[in-house]
Amino acid sequence: MRLIIFGPPGAGKGTQAVKISQEYKVLHISTGDILRASVKEGTELGKLAKTYMDKGELVPDNVIIGIIKERITTQDSQKGFLLDGFPRTIEQAEALEKMLNKEGQRIDSVISIEVDDEEIVKRITGRRVCEKCGSMYHIIFDPPTNMGYCNKCGGGLYQRDDDSEDVIRTRLQVYRRQTEPLKKFYKKVGILKRVDGLGTIDDVFERIEKILKGVA
């Protein structure tokens, strides 16, 4: 099973991706997580990526395409994978198609989580991430048992630098201009599956499972 989980920032892609990858045993590849790990390690890639991420802009296509190429050719991606946060531009989508074609593979479904802007802002401003294991919480919608600490590993929770209100505005504009056109791209291919992203995390997951039953 090769999937893309698609949607605006804060739609719940990462949250659902974790559930899908657990349930269907597919590798979860999040470009945002890869970049944040590089920033934390202070690598050259991290230093470069941070200059774009802090402003809410996209990291250049050639950099991101290189990262994905490396990940989807590894042994553990052979059983399938779930791309989260990639592709974000038409150029990235075309590069992905080329990579997969070479291997005689293709994407089975693009699951598009549909959420309005008001909900996005609520979700992003309340998002908290574990500094140790990367688990995601929301201060109201999905709070940890001990405020400020991760349920799974006890690590401290932090707010992402790019989750401030002014950066969110830029990220939404970037999404509308550069990423949303991909829906048309995948609709043409006939693999776009729209999912209502409102409701609880479990409600949304149930809707996704219904779609995946036709794919898995």
Residues annotated as catalytic are: 13, 88, 127, 160, 171
142 contributes a contact to ligand ADP by CB under 6 A: yes
C-alpha distances in Å from residue 89, one per residue of 58, 59, 62, 146, 175: 9, 11, 11, 39, 9
Instruction: State the nearest-atom distance from the C-beta of 75 to ligand ADP, in Å.
Output: 26
3-class DSSP state of 105: coil
- Give the Cα separation of 48 and 206 in Å (integer): 38
89 contributes a contact to ligand ADP by CB under 6 A: no
C-alpha distances in Å from residue 11, one per residue of 84, 111, 152, 179: 11, 12, 23, 14
Q: Using the 8-state DSSP alphabet, how is residue 166 labeled?
A: H
58 binds, among ligand AMP, ligand ADP, none (CB under 5 to 8 A by kind): ligand AMP
Q: Using the 8-state DSSP alphabet, how is residue 145 labeled?
A: S
141 contributes a contact to ligand ADP by CB under 6 A: yes
CA-wise closest residue to 153 among 166, 135, 139? 135
Residues numbered 4 to 63 that lie near ligand ADP (CB under 6 A) are 7, 9-15
CA-wise closest residue to 115 among 194, 53, 174? 194
**Of 53 and 150, which CB lies nearer to ligand AMP in the complex structure?**
53
Instruction: State the nearest-atom distance from the C-beta of 102 to ligand ADP, in Å.
Output: 28
Among 123, 171, 193, 207, interactor with ligand ADP by CB under 6 A: 123
Residues numbered 124 to 183 that lie near ligand AMP (CB under 6 A) are 162, 171
Among the residue ranges 54-62, 96-104, 106-114, 187-195, the one whose residues contact ligand AMP (CB under 6 A): 54-62
186 contributes a contact to ligand AMP by CB under 6 A: no
CA-wise closest residue to 72 among 59, 61, 83, 88? 83
Among the residue ranges 74-82, 83-91, 132-140, 205-213, the one whose residues contact ligand AMP (CB under 6 A): 83-91
Instruction: State the nearest-atom distance from the C-beta of 98 to ligand ADP, in Å.
Output: 26
- Give the Cα separation of 21 and 28 in Å (integer): 6
Instruction: State the nearest-atom distance from the C-beta of 128 to ligand ADP, in Å.
Output: 7
3-class DSSP state of 10: coil
Please list the alpha-helical segments (H only) found in the chain.
Answer: 13-24, 31-41, 44-53, 61-72, 90-102, 117-125, 165-174, 182-189, 201-213
Q: Please give the residue ranges that form the binding site for ligand ADP (CB under 6 A).
A: 7, 9-15, 123, 126-127, 136-138, 141-142, 199-201, 204
Q: Please give the residue ranges that form the binding site for ligand AMP (CB under 6 A).
A: 9, 31-32, 35, 52-53, 56-59, 64, 85-86, 88, 92, 162, 171
